[in-house]
């Protein structure tokens, strides 16, 4: 069976691949103090290198001597895997940093646009206030004109209401 280097395997999967019991795989991992690559729920996932090492250690020996990897070999393999993982994480962080910079630029643009909109709204408000003041002044001026016109009309009406005397009464006052 082909083992994918980038995949991780559970104890059950390793046991199935090797054709042994889960207890055998668990014991072998425990004896070598191998820690899981990650866990999901209760399942522990191990790197593909451990699967390969287990298969190498438990394949049918042709000369009755099986090569069991030493702790140093296991650690070296784990270091190389962690280095590769570290490179992937650094690349991911750089990508996220770039996305953050782009978002910061968008926020900056929105802030400047908001400032322009705020200024326009303030200018509009000031213009409205001035127009209202001008219209109030015009209304007061119109009120004065109307009141003087009304007074003139009232005087004319009073004069019209008085009975006109004839020429004799005007001259002799009778």
pLDDT of residue 63: 45
pLDDT of residue 38: 86
pLDDT tens digits, 119-142: 999 999 999 999 998 888 776 666
Q: What is the mean pLDDT of the chain?
A: 82
Q: Give all domains of the chain, ordered by start, each with its CATH number.
A: 6-56 (1.10.1660.10)
pLDDT of residue 109: 93
pLDDT tens digits, 52-99: 888 888 775 444 455 777 888 888 988 999 999 999 999 999 999 999
pLDDT tens digits, 32-55: 888 888 888 888 888 888 888 888
Q: Is 81 exposed, middle or buried (0-12, 13-18, 19+ CB in 10 A)?
A: middle
pTM: 0.35
């Amino acid at each position: 069976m082909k083992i994918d280097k980038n995949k991780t395997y559970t104890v059950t999967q390793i046991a199935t691949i090797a054709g042994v019991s889960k207890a055998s795989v668990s014991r072998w991992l425990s004896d070598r103090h191998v820690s899981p690559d990650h866990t999901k729920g209760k399942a522990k996932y191990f790197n593909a290198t451990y699967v390969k090492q287990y298969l190498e250690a438990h394949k049918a020996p042709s000369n009755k001597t099986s090569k069991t990897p030493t702790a140093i070999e296991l650690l070296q393999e784990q270091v190389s895997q962690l280095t590769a993982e570290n490179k992937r994480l650094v690349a991911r962080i750089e990508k996220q940093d770039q996305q953050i910079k782009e978002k910061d630029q968008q926020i900056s643009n929105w802030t400047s646009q908001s400032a322009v909109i705020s200024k326009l709204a303030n200018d509009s408000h000031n213009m409205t206030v001035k127009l209202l003041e001008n219209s109030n002044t015009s209304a007061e001026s119109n009120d004065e004109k109307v009141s003087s016109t009304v007074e003139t009309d009232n005087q004319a009406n009073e004069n019209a209401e008085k009975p006109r005397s004839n020429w004799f009464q005007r001259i002799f006052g009778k």
